[in-house]
Structure 1
């Protein structure tokens, strides 16, 4: 599926490396205070005021992404609290029984599936429509994948996690159909659980088959998997019905880059080129070198660059600086490609 629909009309170079973010972004500090007021049972901060606050935050962050120069923007997930809780709260069949300890002093409000999961109302359409309405650039929609929604929940209703994941995949497909009807053309499925249980890649593949069923060809589907041993799911992921595979490699200094060289990687590559665990802004030169790592795997017309993962835990000025330098680096690499100054490891496809 062509990426040309995401190329800005005023793009300055012949080559085009798509720039975006994975999803989450630091929330304005005042939004956390507003959430506390809204969640306070004795407070008088109502749902309408909370919606206005989240709209304001989404507008600010969307414009911040555009100011940094990103080609495909996200609202920074301003309305979301956690990637599983947010969706489980909107799916019939889930319930919450309190947080569980996951590591150290960190707790996660792990939900339980107690009945058959059912689609009740849209999860993300209003969020997308608002962001699309305030954005001048295409909007990408990240959505937690069914395998992670199943794996990171207590399963009390289905025979096994495969059965639950496939049931959830049907719901994700229904939601994406509504997003597409609303105008969405770039959907990212987040499956971080696959990195911790790579032997289940076949389940993820089955779920993706259901997710993409009957979607128009022009809809771009990406899959984000982070912080795992990619050799345990490669080359199997090449069989997934996706356009783009999104990996974090900056954090590991690209030690796993060779995994994707044999057999040939024939999907589009979304490559993390800034490390979200480093609280400093990488230089343009460093990011340019990272981008060129991606050109060892795919030609530039199949390369997307982004941070390794969501940047919500970084200081907001650092997150912005990483994005801004990433865009500058991508545009400089494009100019050098146009001038024939960069040798591309992957063969450039004929137009």
Structure 2
């Protein structure tokens, strides 16, 4: 895959004010406008009240709105906040041949998950995200990032009635994702993120995920930036194995844990770029700019500035929209402030990486 510097310079805006560049982006999901949820419910309850054309217009309007919101916050790479998606496994399972839905499963408290079942060999029947990407890229002024649920999570969070073991299903899904990424690349996508939250619950399968990544990137051009997002869990269980993954960027959730695990990556051998969560996706409290600047400096203890990406911990969809936007706006402002300090020499990144942590 592409080297970190060449891969990220593509995302530097032409009017970027500083010599240093910390790539700012989002993980994926974002709060949906209340009116979109209302229109969805009326469309699903009564197609005559809200027809397919009206529903499509509502989705497009929401996508346009949130993409613009990300750009107004100042992000360097944006997405539409997954306005066309409801749930990270269900969305893809409904588009993959071989899946069926047999009813909701209770997961915790009074919450239910429409857990899919694999009832025949999985097949690629139609593009999953090309419409989403092409629309977003068409309305965006900044580069567009495409999040995709990874094969390990798709397999682990499904019932399997066909394959001999989870690994066989996971590899089959990886081959389908390779096809999807190829279609996205044909459409112009150059920044793809694979979401694997399930890996955190079963770190012993890191070799399976590594093999899946090899399958996914097979034949993908070197100029496509590939990110792996793993939220929560013990990162020490999968590092340094991730150094061997064919990825350009590893995205981690550490703000929520006050950076207790940052030392996991501080051995000086961390290979991919680090995409560091610097605002907490689990609380509506908006972090002050100064606090986010301190969080960014935590990342600079592990990697140099040219290998640091700044993002929220995870998707922001559970937050009030006003809080989500304020977090992004402060995050971008903090990144630009840190860049200015690096340019002036007030902040010595090399010294941060060599200093003893308290």
The bucket for the TM-score relative to the shorter chain is: over 0.9
- 1:189 match: secondary structure: strand
Q: Structure 1 residue 262: deviation in Å?
A: 2.2
Do structure 1's residue 318 and structure 2's residue 311 form an aligned pair? no
Alignment correspondent of 1:188: 193
The 5-angstrom pairing of residues 213-224 of structure 1 reads 213-224=218-229
* TM-score (normalised: structure 1): 0.98
Q: Structure 1 residue 343: deviation in Å?
A: 2.1
Determine which of 135, 141, 151 is the counterpart of 1:136.
141
Q: Cα RMSD (Å) of the superposition?
A: 0.9
Do structure 1's residue 9 and structure 2's residue 14 form an aligned pair? yes
Determine which of 258, 261, 264 is the counterpart of 2:263.
258
Q: Structure 1 residue 146: deviation in Å?
A: 0.4
1: CA distance, partners of 2:108 / 2:89: 17
Do structure 1's residue 62 and structure 2's residue 95 form an aligned pair? no
- 1:327 match: secondary structure: helix
Q: Which runs of 4+ in 1 moved over 4 A?
A: none
Q: 100-109 vs 14-23, which deviates more?
A: 100-109
Asked whether the 8 Å contact 2:273–2:303 carries over to 1, the reply is yes
Unaligned runs of at least 5 residues, structure 1: none
2: CA distance, partners of 1:14 / 1:270: 20
- 1:116 match: secondary structure: strand
- 2:16 match: secondary structure: coil
- 2:64 match: secondary structure: helix
- Residues 259-302 of structure 1 show CA distances to partners (whole Å, capped at 9, x for unaligned) of 01126212100000000112111000000000000000100011
- 1:318 match: secondary structure: helix
- 2:278 match: secondary structure: strand
Do structure 1's residue 211 and structure 2's residue 252 form an aligned pair? no
Alignment correspondent of 1:341: 346
2: CA distance, partners of 1:222 / 1:42: 38
Q: Structure 1 residue 333: deviation in Å?
A: 0.2
Unaligned runs of at least 5 residues, structure 2: none
Determine which of 12, 24, 27 is the counterpart of 1:22.
27
Q: Structure 1 residue 77: deviation in Å?
A: 0.2
Q: 271-280 vs 132-141, which deviates more?
A: 271-280
2: CA distance, partners of 1:155 / 1:59: 37
1: CA distance, partners of 2:109 / 2:26: 29
Asked whether the 8 Å contact 1:20–1:304 carries over to 2, the reply is yes
1: CA distance, partners of 2:47 / 2:146: 35
Alignment correspondent of 1:37: 42
2: CA distance, partners of 1:221 / 1:6: 14
Q: 48-57 vs 254-263, which deviates more?
A: 254-263
Alignment correspondent of 1:295: 300
Between the two proteins, the alignment pairs up a number of residues equal to 347
- 1:251 match: secondary structure: helix
